[in-house]
Amino acid sequence: MEFILIILAVMLAVFLGWLLKSSFNVQPWVAEPVDETANQAPMNANAKVVALATLLAVVTSFFALIMSAYGLRMDYGDWVPLNEPQLLWLNTGMLFLASLVLQWTRNGTVSGQVSRLKPGLIVTGLLTFAFLAGQFAAWRMLSASGQYVWSNPANAFFYLLTVAHALHILGGMYVWARATLRVVNGAHPDSVRESVVLCTVYWHFLLIVWLVMFGLLLST
């Protein structure tokens, strides 16, 4: 489990560094006229960066603790390894594509290619919803085969990890939905640029968390 903790710690450090670099390099307020709103924009932007950085730190600690408990609990005799549904591989592909499309959208938004914004956000949402629907289908498949959450500790940890991850994605979908609705309603791209940048970091972060978690589940 020390290896998992090291991976998560490195993951957090890399993403925090990328977050700070990406967010502070994208400063739509610089080109704005100097007025009261513009003077407060950097402070608001910095607050959002700090808030996301804090969230990533908390989420990393949360999953690291659960994975550590997972590794410790495996040593008990009542542990029966779970046969993970093959559907999880397809779900992983959906989440990877969602992260990739959102990065494409983010790059276009930052570089002024605003034509990417609306389709990119919509496709990202569809792929992410596909991932969540796939996770739900995987849970249903396990339940149908008699592998319930209370069947044994391995099952309980599987449901705990995957449900917790899905809930964190749903939290990100709230920010995505707000940004997408603003774009659909004709908002100026600059008004959602920061949300797109921060969402991209969050999506990538949760993708890495899922890959580490999925690898742990498959290997045990």
Residues 8-17 pLDDT 10s = 556 656 655 6
Assigned architecture for domain 2-219: Up-down Bundle (1.20)
Share of the chain above pLDDT 90, in %: 40
Is the pLDDT assigned to residue 6 strictly greater than 80? no
- pTM, rounded to two decimals: 0.81
Measure the CA–CA gap between 188 and 209, rounded to whole angstroms: 33
Is the pLDDT assigned to residue 28 strictly greater than 50? no
Compute the CA torsion angle 196, 164, 140, 147 (nearest 10 deg): 150
Measure the CA–CA gap between 103 and 101, rounded to whole angstroms: 5
Query: Considering only CA atoms, which of 128, 164, 163 is closest in space to residue 142?
Result: 163
* Phi, then psi, of 147 in degrees rounded to 5: -95, 80
Residues 75-126 pLDDT 10s = 787 788 888 889 999 999 999 999 999 999 999 888 888 889 999 999 999 9
